Structure 1
């Protein structure tokens, strides 16, 4: 079973009556045609259970419960969203999920989030609850640490969307970002079938802001880049990446597009690289409007100051939401940090992140 973050672009189309072709991504920047689905019964992925609501009913890991209990989902239109809170693709879907929950909640729609973590820190229920509150995720949400629901739903990536009608049947499945207008039309269709006419609900544009803003797809030439050795590619520090041993790294003078390097004493494990002392840095050559880095804090939980430079200078107007114009930021929670947003012309840039305390964990660069 594949597990991957969708980079957006439209990984798959809404599947419902009259659907034509489904596309899915084999990697970050290439399309692979998959089997087409032309009937409502083909809307679910292969291996999906015929009784999705029974799976939710059996789950005991609710972070935010369903009002009235899981049994209250019977007779409702249910939108299930697989997500994880450090994933930029999941975050950019949240404005739509919140809007649909607000628009159609009194018409019989219930949005249910299934938080399935990619990294170990996302398995901590307290951290997920904090992140959900900060992200204004108000609809029911449960934790799927062992991928039980993920496997039984046949899900393959973040974000995954399952559209369940009032009879408990999956009528649509989509993997990845995009095609949100089609998704909303399917929601309205399923609600109308239940007798809850949604025609009096206006369809107004939904637009994410800040870190949730839609990616600048036409300017995106950098795929996500993992720092842990299990998935790391294009590592450029002299001597290469050393697994599980604290090693002193240096950054080469020049990096090619999508190469990255470490400086200072780091231990690179399968999932992340941990900084062994103050004065370490990580550098990446990228082409995208936005650059994000998933970071974990020190073991003593004290905030860690860091500084971002772009092409050797403070970011100024190109700073992300988690740093100021001088490039200063503070690592407080284990999460995704937006370090760069270029408001004007997008060109190749080199970002360097310097940390002023050891114990920092760096997981993955993502872009938008």
Structure 2
């Protein structure tokens, strides 16, 4: 929604750019004619033609980017040409010659229309004006095209283009009603728009360079939640509101009578390496039913899906099912292949896992969520997808149906219930009153210490006199970074007022790998029977590796509780709380 508003405002301010000069004579030529039968049809034709032409360009650009790796380079080259056109007027003039010629022919045709067909004539003239305007529509269009190149065309893209066109048409409508004096004032303001246009051309070219070199994906992996923040918001730089959660909790799904074809299985070539398998290609997987699961090993929602994925991989392996885990990191430590290998061993995952550190497979699928899985038939067509936890029965029904379609009748045998243990056990949905909470300052919410957070610097913090539900605070010396807070001295503590059966915290040992001892309390006392899988009954535990730690699993009635963890050694890295 924010991009749509920005696009509309960008269209409104198009009148400050020299690009508008070829359009102005057509608009002012009809400034003395009736609005409904002359000016409004002209503006409608202008907006419609612009939205159509640029929409076709966006779809083609995004389609090429998603088609293959070669298509992606074609898309980037096209975007580079667009950025050069913004930066250099001579390039824009050369590119616009074919459209200008077409516009001249349409203008000539519109002038032959009789007086009784004024509306049609004005609309046709507006279409010609749109042709003149579309190639140099300004910087916001560059942002929209960049977003489409990265993430694919969508209704958001179409809405942003229409908003841009509507904004520009609205400003032209106001200008036409003011008369020719407005044109003189307009000319005095053109320099501002030209400087903005050139600056955004530079930004578009820088974005192309970042995408081509893979710099964008390396940065995305270091920024929590970044894969779905969209390149548009990073370019415009004004969207500072709360970011949507990318780890998706339980979602409901129903299986249709016939599974629709949702697209082709994208290339898996984006993997930086493979674990538990040699590299797999779409050609090698032809003839198999495939489950592609996007996950990351410290994500609690992902962990709770693993019992089902492991069971499906074993239960239907002889029937031709292949389960592939695509490990796409959220935190920096998840990019370490050694950490992922240890996680696979601890989680008893034996099926193939593609390491997607550069987000190549993530982008090929157009995925935005952890966890997510896509089920592909033996012909390489995506037939079912699901985001978040849940939907396991429907997913297994889809697997069985696709295996049966592939001639595997044994797949119809009875399926036993699946149950996980520890952190992989199903969540207590009814009693979850707390949500995922990041400790690093980039996405931190609910911080309640009286002191202001000092970014990337050691500071002493204290607890407030009372914590409200879902508030948390630090006490002792901490260095709060973008991803995590690091305890800078012993006895540093974190307190959290929560409502859930389970409490988890993503932790890592000190930077040099030395283990960090900790002690947990609930409402000021040792957890006892309510201790988590990584904590003893007396509340003691040790951070030995970077992963998710289950610290609380309540056995009594779930009510509001105050959790505290005290780190007895310095160097502990705390990333995010999750609940279940």
Same fold (TM over 0.5): yes
Residue aligning to 2:416? 204
Q: For 1:121 and 1:57, how far apart are their aligned partners in 2? A: 23
Contact 1:17 1:40 in 2 (8 A): no
2:542 paired with 1:357:
no
Q: 1:58 to 1:267 in 2, by over 3 A?
A: closer
- The aligned runs of 1:302-321 (5 Å cut-off) are 302-321=514-533
- The aligned runs of 1:275-290 (5 Å cut-off) are 275-290=487-502
Residue aligning to 1:31? none
- The aligned runs of 1:133-148 (5 Å cut-off) are 133-148=345-360
Q: For 1:67 and 1:93, how far apart are their aligned partners in 2? A: 24
Q: CA deviation at 1:151?
A: 1.1
2:253 paired with 1:253:
no
Q: CA deviation at 1:72?
A: 3.6
* TM-score (norm. length: structure 1): 0.88
Contact 2:372 2:385 in 1 (8 A): yes
Residue aligning to 2:296? 84
Q: For 2:474 and 2:439, how far apart are their aligned partners in 1? A: 10
Residue aligning to 2:192? none
Higher relative contact order, chain-length normalized (CA < 8 Å, sep 6+): 1
Larger radius of gyration: 2
The answer to which structure has the higher helix fraction is 2
Q: 1:350 to 1:60 in 2, by over 3 A?
A: closer
Structure 1 stretch displaced more, 75-84 or 292-301: 292-301
Residue aligning to 2:536? 324
- The aligned runs of 1:140-219 (5 Å cut-off) are 140-199=352-411, 201-219=413-431
Residue aligning to 2:313? 101
Q: Give the unaligned 5+ runs of structure 2.
A: 1-226, 230-244
Q: Structure 1, residues 309-361: CA drift from partner, whole Å, max 9, x if none?
A: 00000000110000010000010010000000002210100010000111111
Residue aligning to 2:557? 345
Q: Structure 1, residues 108-141: CA drift from partner, whole Å, max 9, x if none?
A: 0000000001000000000000001100011000
**Alignment match of 1:243 (pick from 455, 459, 475):** 455
Residue aligning to 2:579? 367
**1:189 aligns to what SS in structure 2?**
helix
Residue aligning to 1:63? 275
**1:233 aligns to what SS in structure 2?**
coil
Residue aligning to 2:253? 13
Q: 1:319 to 1:278 in 2, by over 3 A?
A: same
Q: 1:334 to 1:100 in 2, by over 3 A?
A: same
Q: CA deviation at 1:56?
A: 1.8
Contact 2:516 2:567 in 1 (8 A): yes
- Number of corresponding residues: 339
Contact 2:265 2:376 in 1 (8 A): no
Residue aligning to 1:2? 228
**1:90 aligns to what SS in structure 2?**
helix
Contact 1:66 1:72 in 2 (8 A): no
* TM-score (norm. length: structure 2): 0.56
Q: 1:14 to 1:150 in 2, by over 3 A?
A: farther
Q: Structure 1, residues 25-68: CA drift from partner, whole Å, max 9, x if none?
A: xxxxxxxxxxxxxx713x36xxxxx342xx12564511221598
CA RMSD of aligned residues (A): 1.8
Residue aligning to 2:98? none
**Alignment match of 2:260 (pick from 40, 65, 71):** 40
Q: 1:327 to 1:148 in 2, by over 3 A?
A: same
Q: 1:307 to 1:345 in 2, by over 3 A?
A: same
Q: Give the unaligned 5+ runs of structure 1.
A: 19-38, 45-49
Q: Structure 1, residues 85-125: CA drift from partner, whole Å, max 9, x if none?
A: 00000000000000001110000000000000100000000
**1:325 aligns to what SS in structure 2?**
coil
Q: For 1:67 and 1:236, how far apart are their aligned partners in 2? A: 48
**1:112 aligns to what SS in structure 2?**
strand
Q: For 1:257 and 1:198, how far apart are their aligned partners in 2? A: 51
Q: For 2:359 and 2:254, how far apart are their aligned partners in 1? A: 23
Q: CA deviation at 1:7?
A: 4.4
Residue aligning to 1:271? 483
Q: 1:78 to 1:16 in 2, by over 3 A?
A: farther
**1:198 aligns to what SS in structure 2?**
helix
**1:163 aligns to what SS in structure 2?**
strand
Q: 1:262 to 1:287 in 2, by over 3 A?
A: same
The answer to which structure has the higher strand fraction is 1
Q: 1:199 to 1:7 in 2, by over 3 A?
A: closer
